[in-house]
Structure 1
């Protein structure tokens, strides 16, 4: 049972997360939502995270306190950064917080704290938003073979190198990553085994995890991510949205091939796509994307996102890797849009039951083009109706009260 805890209300939970929303991606958004929802439910939540320029050291909101420490300088987190901060790990501040907590919650990569928390007799929950520890890159995809990875032990060094290069890392950075990912994978696996419970964000993710690490089956649970509060946006345009960035595994090149195919083989059909996180690059590259019908955006704020949603009728998610979850699919549905997505990983699980969800085989640009053309040909009234029904399904399936209830029930077992 939870140390010193006779009831859930007032339970003290320590969140240790290198990044905290608005920094990071889907995993950090989920961490932020859990912190807010649990604090509103009466839990006492303390978050320790990195401090970026212009951020306050401490912020308080009722039962939620966020401590921001100078952990690292990079704008993006790295799963090995916290292993270098042994000084933070053994500090009086950290020890005091662990002693204060009834539960230590690790939503990302701060695995080095798990042995310390267990030494103080505190239960630990690790929330997996990727595929660590079975994959040091946390993607469970072998980019060298363009296929889902099924290795049980040694990871492909060629895959690690190709992934780093595709991510824009230099040769020196790639070699460093190759060394760390190869050497430290056993550390993450061994420390994860010390945890009391592991949360996966989809059944698909859990199935992949326990197939390659069957020893984790008994302590692994599925709890879907909570939803952000997003209003419906009226449809004013006929374009499509893409919010995956330019990394090859997010499938931007598959989308580009689909747009080219639609023009060359489907009666010169032009499809307009608003693509976020994609840079124009050279002048020739910019003109090439313009010919395909792509309007690119490097970074977006919430106001720009809202403007884009008003101009699109659907969102395209052409991922190649087995996504553990898809906040993009959830957000698109909450905004009342149809979704065209790869039939891989947790994506079909998230979209199951949505009448305005159209799946295609991952990597098949011809199928993607056909789906986009089919949605383009629908009347705006039909698209709006499908989008609203998607929103209803997502709100019912991922009800935040139910999700927090499942989290609370898990605490009662520790």
Structure 2
């Protein structure tokens, strides 16, 4: 089987979706599937991808507003394929179906395109978007401003996303199958796309190969950046509530422009950019737990999976696919979203444990997630979807 993967970026660029694509690429190749990866970004050819079949394709535009011109190189890739596995470039789907007669499987890693900004969360009203409310202008503008975009960028995004961005859902109607990463994501997505009658499946993302890290410190980790969707403001409120009981140092990533800021240092928040390699391992050795205070319905956050695999306690909000991943694990505390009091109580519980208890629960977390999720099972489920789609397409 020849599988052409369409992905705008290569991991470690991007986020969880790009990581999942990288892991699937390797797993498919290990299972004797012929794979080619077509990308539009200009990568630095990260070491992780050095032996993988990557093809740069010319495009017009950027992000989701990208058009793929049918140059000879691109046509040859589509002709070579038996199936196209699409994580980006949704406007290309109708052309793949009509001009090349190839089946298309689309992997949905967020809530785009049911939501132009991919979150299905109304920050202005602080609630999940209602399926009967399609007035996105104010919501998108508030989203852009909350992410500290310039006025020009915020207005441009609002204009594009509230008009053109709302029509991307129509491209999915040409797909042969949709894959979601959690049951919660599938339910919420399809609730906002009631006219999308396409076979859909839930396949949990593959796990990265991460080793257990020794716990040499009692700090906590927060790896979500400043996006209000990730709940950093809720974490700050919770920390203030626990401050009179005990102080704790928080290692926070995706905050490189805040590194060394005095107010953060005063409340024991150490800020970093994105962490790789030894820097990543170094931070993990200092922390006993990871905090994931997201307020939107995260489909299946890799931050939580990595914390469990590294043998750390997890404090996470009950959103999206988090319960499917962590519910029932002894060292995972699931709390209400948008509730600083509930989060503060959980943090206090984690910080009050003896180091030996933390280590024991961390080991149970690692064992638990490895039992719940199996990469061989995951990739075989994906291959079965490919086979089902190609057989029905003949």
TM-score per shorter chain, which class?
Answer: over 0.9
Q: Aligned partners of 2:365 and 2:274: how far apart in 1?
A: 27
Residues 1:60 and 1:196: Cα distance change in structure 2 (over 3 Å): same
What's the Cα RMSD here?
1.9
Q: Aligned partners of 2:197 and 2:248: how far apart in 1?
A: 45
Matched with 1:255 is: 235
Matches for 1:114-125 after TM superposition, within 5 Å: 114-119=93-98, 120-125=100-105
How far residue 168 of structure 1 moved from its aligned partner, in angstroms, is 2.5
| 1:272 equivalent in alignment to 2:252 | no
Matched with 2:322 is: 347
TM-score where L is the length of structure 1 = 0.89
8 Å contact from structure 1 (residues 315, 340) kept in 2: yes
1:113 is aligned, of 79, 87, 92, to 92
SS at match of 2:364: helix
Moved over 6 A (4+): none
1:41 is aligned, of 6, 17, 31, to 31
8 Å contact from structure 1 (residues 256, 292) kept in 2: no
Matched with 2:392 is: none
Residues 1:289 and 1:60: Cα distance change in structure 2 (over 3 Å): closer
Q: Aligned partners of 2:44 and 2:344: how far apart in 1?
A: 44
| 1:205 equivalent in alignment to 2:181 | no
How far residue 136 of structure 1 moved from its aligned partner, in angstroms, is 0.7
| 1:163 equivalent in alignment to 2:143 | yes
Q: Aligned partners of 1:60 and 1:148: how far apart in 2?
A: 41
How far residue 386 of structure 1 moved from its aligned partner, in angstroms, is 0.9
Residues 1:152 and 1:189: Cα distance change in structure 2 (over 3 Å): farther
How far residue 213 of structure 1 moved from its aligned partner, in angstroms, is 1.5
| 1:28 equivalent in alignment to 2:18 | yes
1:256-300 superposed Cα distances (whole Å, 9 cap, x missing partner) = 11111112xxx44212211111246498xx232222221111232
| 1:130 equivalent in alignment to 2:110 | yes
| 1:366 equivalent in alignment to 2:341 | yes
How far residue 71 of structure 1 moved from its aligned partner, in angstroms, is 4.5
Residues 1:141 and 1:67: Cα distance change in structure 2 (over 3 Å): same
Q: Aligned partners of 2:82 and 2:258: how far apart in 1?
A: 50
Q: How many residues align?
A: 386
| 1:225 equivalent in alignment to 2:200 | no
Structure 2, gaps ≥5 residues long:
390-394
| 1:65 equivalent in alignment to 2:53 | yes
TM-score where L is the length of structure 2 = 0.93
Q: Aligned partners of 1:217 and 1:209: how far apart in 2?
A: 13
2:302 is aligned, of 318, 324, 327, to 327
Q: Aligned partners of 1:311 and 1:330: how far apart in 2?
A: 18
Q: Aligned partners of 2:50 and 2:77: how far apart in 1?
A: 16
Q: Aligned partners of 2:59 and 2:271: how far apart in 1?
A: 33
Q: Aligned partners of 1:315 and 1:217: how far apart in 2?
A: 39
1:231-260 superposed Cα distances (whole Å, 9 cap, x missing partner) = 000111011000001111111111111111
1:165-201 superposed Cα distances (whole Å, 9 cap, x missing partner) = 2223211111111121122234311110110000000
